[in-house]
Homo-oligomer: A and B are copies of this chain.
Amino acid sequence: MINQLVANIKKTGAPIVVGLDPMLNYIPEQVQQKAFAEYGETLEGAAEAIWQFNKEIVDKTYDLIPAVKPQIAMYEQFGLPGLAAFKKTVDYCKEKGLVVIGDIKRGDIGSTSAAYAVGHIGKVKVGSKTYAPFDEDFVTVNPYLGSDGVNPFLDVCKEEKKGIFVLVKTSNPSSGEFQDQKIDGRPLYELVGEKVAAWGSEVMGDEYSYVGAVVGATYPEMGKVLRKVMPKAYILVPGYGAQGGKGKDLVHFFNEDGLGAIVNSSRGIIAAYKQEQYAKFGAENFGDASRAAVETMVADIKGALENR
């Protein structure tokens, strides 16, 4: 699936991923009202609003982008109906030819980690049958529990040719509390980065590994170091736009060939219609605002890469 991701990026010329993290307050009033009219102000109503919102954004952007990253928390908060909307979104995006990165940040050990792996990127056995319950292409994984937590994912990655992105240096202000702590003079995130390179060496695609890394756009200097520590890992870069990252900050996350990184924007794309820059579209044309925001983001990153 890493080969598919690279192929999609080359085809679209867009090293970006749209974060499908639909907070209810991002969803235009008319979409919410229509869903509530059908299902009431219920969890089902919220889930329907999310699904209709996602569908419109995907329909208006899928030809420009290689991948989407639904954040499962935004669905899980609405319980089972929310998770049904997550699954519907995953399936729809795959139908549209998009690579789906499930932002699930799971991390446990042994058979528990294996359960997450089969549930999200693999197949689970029930008697003589097998099922692929959530069936994302990639998922994000938390490394705090060490190799015992990651290895079960690697087993499933090998079997299914799917992939993971391991949290290395996250985009948030307090990420340094633990991740930046110095161990023999080097920060913890570098140690995690070295592990990512080691884990990834066991599961290589054509050019890049099935094991990628998450490194926040908000820490460009650290990205520069980590790019070298994990040369074969695709870097998933959150924190662009709303969190403060800009195209010129991101050039060192990429390799010389313009590959090796994929930059996520969530709010900046899916709630673009709320920004002054795209207000002209109006809430009723929120999908067109998202499309325009994708075009602007791609131009920003491409421009930065060409001028480095």
Contact = CB atoms under 8 A, between A and B. Distances in A.
A145 B174 contact: yes
Interface string A128-152: 1101011000000011111111000
Interface string A168-187: 00111111111101111000
B179 A78 contact: no
A303 interface: no
A285 interface: no
Given A116-B73, A143-B144, A126 B174 contact: no
Nearest to A171: B109
A131 to B, nearest CB: 6
A175 B240 CA distance: 32
Contacts of A128: 41
Contacts of A82: 119, 133
Contact of A36 (B36, B127, B183): B127
A307 B184 CA distance: 41
Interface string A185-203: 0001001100100000000
A150 to B, nearest CB: 9
Interface of A: 21, 23-24, 32, 36, 41-43, 45-46, 71, 73-74, 76-80, 82-84, 87, 105-113, 115-116, 118-120, 124-129, 131, 133-134, 142-149, 167, 170-179, 181-184, 188, 191-192, 195
Contact of A129 (B41, B171, B179, B183): B41
Contacts of A108: 71, 73, 105
Given A36-B127, A108-B105, A174 B148 contact: yes
A175 B74 CA distance: 29
A157 to B, nearest CB: 16
Contact of A142 (B126, B142, B146): B142
Contacts of A110: 172
A77 B13 CA distance: 35
A146 B119 contact: no
Contacts of A172: 109-110, 145-146, 148-149
A41 B32 CA distance: 37
Given A73-B115, A115-B76, A173-B148, A126 B42 contact: yes
Nearest to A195: B177
A263 B195 CA distance: 31
B178 A32 contact: no
Given A87-B80, A146-B172, A172-B109, A127 B195 contact: no
